[in-house]
Structures are given as C-alpha cells and as structure tokens.
C-alpha cells in the first residue's frame, strides 16, 4: 500500500470511530470529525478552544453526500457547484436533520464545501461521512497552511495529522449564503466576486467583509466578529507608497518592531522585515500570508507594520484576513 492509502485509510477509520483528525485541504488544514456526531463535533470546539457560537463548515465528496446534509440543493447551489466544485467555495443552505446541531450552533442553515485536495476527498469518501472541519489552528491563531503549523498548535491533542504538503490556496474558502434575500458573500476567498457574479448576477458582498461590526450589530457569519488570524504581535496596516511606508517605519522602528512587506522591498526598509509575496500577485500573497504571520511570532515581533495589499478581486481575501489580524487598525499615509 502507498503512503497515500495508508494515511487516508487510517484517518477514515478514526473518523468512523468518532475521533478528530487534522487533514489537508487546498485552502488551509482542517480539523475534521463526523458531521453526524454531536460528541465528535463537540470535541473539535474543545480542542481548538473555539467559541460555541461559531458554526463549522461541512465537507463533502459528492452531491449525493451533500443531499444528506441539506434540505434541498437549490438551482443557485447547483450552478455554483458546477462552476466552482471541487474547490474553495462554501455554500450556506438550510440544513437537514441529520447534521448535528453542534455543527451549526443551533442555526437552521449549514455551510457546505467540496474541497479539491485529493487527500481530503479520499478521506471523506473512505469514511463515507460528511466532515465538519474548521481550520486546524488554535482559535484566534493564523490558519495552518502546512502540517508543521498544525503540529505547532495541536501536537498531543489529536491522534493524527495527515501531511498533504503546503496548501495551494493558503486562505480559507469564499463563504456565500443562499439563505438571505440576495446571495451574499460573508467571507471573501481566492474566488473573486466577479467570478461569482458571472454565475449569480445579483450576488453581493457583506459589508462585514471590510468593515468592523458596529456594537449591537448581529454577525451574518459569526466567525467574522472575532479577532482572528492573529499573531501575538500588534498588527497595523499601513496604506500608502513604499517611500512613505519606509519613512513611517523608520521613525517608529525599535527592537521588536517588524515590517510585513512585499518581495523585493526589504532592502528599502530600515527595520527587520518579512515578505509575503510580490505586490502584484495576490494569489501568492494568499499562499504566504499565514506562514508569514507565524514567522513574525517566532521572531518575537511585538509590533508589525504591514504593507496594504490590493483590496480588489483576489486581494480582498488577503486584505480581509490582515484587517482581522490587525483588529481593524489601519493607518493611511
């Protein structure tokens, strides 16, 4: 048997026993358990230290399996699935009774995604179970984009981490709800709004994507209200040209201040820095962002000044994650 077969068989066997296993997906690593089992899913929240009101995404390997998880696969859902699945899109629909209420935190709707990573698909298929899986980090930490990140956060807490290499996408899936009046993107991913508009012309972006919830406002997607993706350091997004950025950090630089900049900029910046991809390549930034935030922690950064990514199309996902890492602190030069 190949390593692929041994690993996926072992993961599927544990999942069938109601255990929790870390698995690779094309976006980020997931902490998976059977979406049918209250106790298995409850274990996920406990291991991550996840707030009890933040529901999980259910991962399926086929539309047949999806049918067991939702009331109905609507026309809109079919159209999205045809275009984007398997892949980094999560669709919210009314849930079936079979899905554990612990997955949805008592909500009537469930988030579903068919990942494209061959290891994830094989594990779902072999277990025969829809798998509830949030990102496999401790709650509040940057999402894991390789098995070593999962180990850093969860070593000793789970029976198995399947290593499927570095995640190709690097930021979590685009989340769209089909349960509101118009289809609404609750979390931007690497699939841009423009691609979704081609399939659902009336789709819109939730304003929570790039602005902070007001006090008393209810989150459409509970996950968006938490400070997230954070390194231990304080993060500040700095908008403006490289020249102004370089001047700004030079004035503020001290021992533990770091810059998070684009490739090729490091020699212009007079404080220690970490690069997260070329300025013009949001997909590469997405791939590197979370690993860069984790590296800044390892270096002991106390403050991180981040160059601002493009906020359009694929860049919006990167900006959205950085904004949350920064607790919405943005300086415009």
Q: Which residues bind ligand TXA (CB under 6 A)?
A: 25, 27-28, 30, 54-57, 88, 90, 92, 104, 107, 109-111, 113, 115, 133-135, 172-173, 175, 186-187, 221-224
Instruction: Tell me if 275 sits within 8 A of 155, measured CB to CB.
Output: no
> Which of ligand TXA, Mg ion, none does residue 65 bind (CB under 5 to 8 Å by kind)?
none
> Which of ligand TXA, Mg ion, none does residue 230 bind (CB under 5 to 8 Å by kind)?
none
> Which of ligand TXA, Mg ion, none does residue 110 bind (CB under 5 to 8 Å by kind)?
ligand TXA
Instruction: State the minimum distance, in angstroms, from the CB of residue 299 to ligand TXA.
Output: 25
Residue 209 or 304: the one with the smaller Cβ distance to ligand TXA is 209
Residue 279 or 288: the one with the smaller Cβ distance to ligand TXA is 288
Closest CA to 84 of 177, 250, 196: 196
Q: Which residue has the tokens 């403050």?
A: 303
CA dihedral 111, 63, 161, 223 (to 10 degrees): -10
The verdict on 320 binding Mg ion (CB under 5 A) reads no
Residue 104 or 135: the one with the smaller Cβ distance to Mg ion is 135
> Which of Mg ion, ligand TXA, none does residue 173 bind (CB under 5 to 8 Å by kind)?
ligand TXA
The verdict on 135 binding Mg ion (CB under 5 A) reads yes
**Mapping DSSP to helix (H, G, I), strand (E, B) and coil, where does residue 57 land?**
strand
Residue 176 or 238: the one with the smaller Cβ distance to Mg ion is 176
User: x/- string (CB under 5 A) for Mg ion, residues 3-42?
Assistant: ----------------------------------------
Instruction: State the minimum distance, in angstroms, from the CB of residue 50 to Mg ion.
Output: 8
Spell out the residues 6+ positions from residue 133 whose beta carbon is closer than 8 angstroms to its own.
23, 25, 30, 31, 32, 33, 44, 56, 57, 58, 59
Q: Which residue has the tokens 């012309």?
A: 201
Spell out the residues 6+ positions from residue 5 whose beta carbon is closer than 8 angstroms to its own.
none
Spatial distance between the Cα atoms of 314 and 36, rounded to a whole number of angstroms: 34
Closest CB to ligand TXA: residue number: 223
Instruction: State the minimum distance, in angstroms, from the CB of residue 107 to ligand TXA.
Output: 5
Residue 133 or 237: the one with the smaller Cβ distance to Mg ion is 133
Q: Which residue has the tokens 């870390």?
A: 22
Closest CA to 91 of 105, 75, 80: 80
Binding-site size for Mg ion (CB under 5 A) equals 1
Residue 101 or 239: the one with the smaller Cβ distance to ligand TXA is 101
Residue 115 or 314: the one with the smaller Cβ distance to ligand TXA is 115
Sheet strands (E) in 95-163: 109-113, 131-132
**Interface region with Mg ion, contact rule CB under 5 A, candidates 9-17, 131-139, 155-163, 230-238:** 131-139
Q: Under the phi-then-psi rule, with left for phi > 0, alpha for psi from -120 to 50, and beta for the rest, what region is 128?
A: left
Residue 65 or 110: the one with the smaller Cβ distance to ligand TXA is 110
What is the longest distance spanned by two Cα atoms in the chain?
A: 59
Instruction: State the minimum distance, in angstroms, from the CB of residue 135 to Mg ion.
Output: 3
- The DSSP line for 224-256 is GGS--S--SSEEEEEES-HHHHHHHHHHH--TT
> Which of Mg ion, ligand TXA, none does residue 94 bind (CB under 5 to 8 Å by kind)?
none
Sheet strands (E) in the chain: 21-23, 30-34, 57-59, 89-94, 109-113, 131-132, 174-177, 184-187, 204-205, 234-239, 257-261, 273-275, 303-307, 330-332
Footprint on this chain of Mg ion (rule: CB under 5 A): 135
């Amino acid at each position: 048997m190949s390593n692929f077969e041994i690993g996926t068989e072992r993961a599927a066997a544990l999942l069938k026993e109601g255990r929790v296993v870390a698995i690779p997906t094309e976006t980020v690593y997931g902490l998976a358990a059977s979406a049918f089992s209250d106790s298995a899913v409850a274990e996920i929240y406990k291991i991550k230290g996840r707030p009890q009101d933040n529901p999980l995404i259910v991962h399926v390997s086929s539309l047949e399996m999806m049918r067991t998880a939702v009331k109905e696969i609507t026309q809109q859902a079919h159209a999205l699935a045809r275009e984007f699945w398997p892949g980094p899109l999560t669709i919210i629909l009314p849930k079936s009774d079979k899905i554990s209420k612990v997955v949805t935190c008592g909500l009537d709707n469930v988030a579903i995604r068919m990942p494209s990573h061959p290891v994830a698909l094989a594990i779902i298929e072999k277990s025969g179970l829809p798998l509830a899986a949030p990102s496999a980090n401790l709650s509040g930490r940057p999402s894991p984009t390789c098995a070593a990140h999962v180990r850093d956060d969860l070593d000793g807490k789970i029976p198995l981490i399947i290593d499927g290499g570095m995640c190709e996408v690097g930021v979590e899936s685009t989340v769209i709800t089909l349960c509101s009046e118009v289809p609404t993107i609750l979390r931007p991913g690497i699939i841009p709004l423009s691609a979704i508009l081609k399939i659902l012309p009336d789709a819109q972006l939730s304003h929570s994507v790039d602005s902070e919830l007001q006090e008393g406002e209810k989150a459409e997607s509970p996950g968006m209200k938490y400070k997230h993706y954070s390194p231990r350091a304080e993060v500040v997004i700095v908008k403006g040209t490289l020249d102004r950025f370089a001047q700004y950090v030079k004035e503020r630089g001290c021992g533990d201040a770091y810059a998070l900049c684009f490739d090729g900029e490091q020699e212009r910046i007079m404080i220690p820095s970490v690069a997260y991809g070329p300025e013009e390549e949001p997909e590469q930034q997405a791939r590197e962002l979370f690993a860069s935030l984790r590296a800044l922690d390892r270096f002991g950064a106390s403050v991180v000044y981040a160059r601002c990514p493009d906020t359009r199309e694929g860049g919006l996902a990167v900006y959205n994650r950085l904004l949350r890492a920064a607790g919405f602190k943005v300086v415009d030069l």
